Amino acid sequence: MKIFATLTAFAALAMAGPAMAEFRLSDRYTDNDGDLIADIPESASDWLDPDTIIFAYTPVEDPAVYAEVWQGFLDHMAELTGKKVQFFPVQSNAAQIEAMRAGRLHVAGFNTGSNPLAVACAGFRPFTMMAAADGSFGYEMEIISYPGSGVDKIEDIKGKELAFTSETSNSGFKAPSALLKAEFGMEAGKDYNAVFSGKHDNSVLGVANKDYTAAAIANSVKARMIERGVVTEDQLNILYTSETFPTTGYGVVYNLAPELQDKIKEAFFSFDWAGTKLEEEFQKSGEAQFIPITFKDNWSVIRQIDEASGVSYECN
């Protein structure tokens, strides 16, 4: 049984839940132009201009695989900026955010759910995401089980275990938690047992190998795993499919020198995907280019989910 969700569930949950303050940045940043991201410091003495640019991709799958996937793009960025560019493998969303907040990470792709926290607490300035050749973009959250699990519809999860990825993940935790509560009246600890796998590929493999009865995952990750032969479609049953969400957002830390920020943006938008490892990997989930985005517009639905879920962005 496959169910498609809409924003109605989030709206209903937001109305039923406690009133939340609107999204705002940490006090260490300013937003004078109202675009909801940190302004670039006015004084050149506050700018970062590193000899080596550190880049990190969101920790959804094996970092070793993606170091090779991204190398051609990083070489392109190095050529345009005149800097060395190094791939930094991260093991968690929290570690990635903390690295940028501390000034050790300059360019990054943050997953959908952790984008607002990275913007609010680490000075992340997202400006692009991957899209298909026709400009369409995004992915869906799915709740999956395996054939013969006894879980053939969402209600069957009651009393059983549901695997999430991490608490900062949109599709791996925040969206499914909100939707299960809004549409089915089901809450973790009361109606089902929540466990955390750490990553989307762990959840997909866990269900395929029957270690987890059910899991909430991003279907873009699942599609790439199926394409690589890591799992097969007949190992998985789809119980629920959400509306389309924005995918990984790419951007820079707020206090990089403005000219360097411009060069990095140019690297994303001028990169030729044809024949690259990046094309080989991401065409598996239908992506073929980088397109411009804004956090204010494209992440509006994610901020709504956070608000409905009672998420706050408290930064130490």
pLDDT per position as a tens digit, 279-292: 999 998 899 999 99
pTM: 0.77
Note the pLDDT of residue 9: 45
* Displacement of CA 101 from its chain's centroid (Å): 18
Note the pLDDT of residue 256: 98
Helices (H), the chain: 8-16, 63-81, 93-101, 115-122, 175-184, 200-208, 219-228, 258-270, 277-282, 295-298, 300-309
Query: Are β-strands 161-164 and 214-218 bridged in parallel, bridged antiparallel, or unpaired?
Result: parallel
Contacts of 245 (CB under 8 A, 6+ apart): 112, 138, 139, 140, 141, 170, 171, 175, 301, 302
Note the pLDDT of residue 268: 98
Note the pLDDT of residue 306: 83
In this prediction, residue 276 has a pLDDT band, given cuts at 50, 70 and 90, of very high
d(CA 55, CA 11): 36
Question: Mean pLDDT score of the chain, rounded to an integer?
Answer: 90
3-state secondary structure of 241: strand
d(CA 202, CA 196): 9
- Please determine, for residue 2, whether its predicted confidence score (pLDDT) is greater than 70: no
Digit-coded pLDDT (tens) for 112-139: 989 999 999 999 999 999 999 999 998 8
Element (H, E) at 290: strand 289-292
- The residue among 311 and 132 whose pLDDT is bigger is 132
Tell me how many degrees the CA angle 297-59-6 measures, rounded to the nearest 5: 40
Note the pLDDT of residue 60: 57
Note the pLDDT of residue 301: 84
Digit-coded pLDDT (tens) for 8-62: 444 444 334 443 447 889 999 999 999 999 999 999 999 999 999 999 998 856 7
- The residue among 170 and 31 whose pLDDT is bigger is 31
Residues facing residue 154 across a β-bridge: none
Q: Which two tokens stand for residue 307?
A: 């608000």
Confirm if 89 and 64 have CB atoms less than 8 A apart: yes
Q: Which two tokens stand for residue 64?
A: 């070793």
Q: Cα Rg for the chain, rounded, in angstroms?
A: 19
* Domains delineated in the chain: 3-13+137-245 (3.40.190.10), 24-134+247-309 (3.40.190.10)
Place of tokens 């400006």: 127
Average pLDDT of the residues in 245-254: 95
Contacts of 134 (CB under 8 A, 6+ apart): none
Of 3-7, 18-22, 171-175, 294-298, least confident by mean pLDDT is 3-7
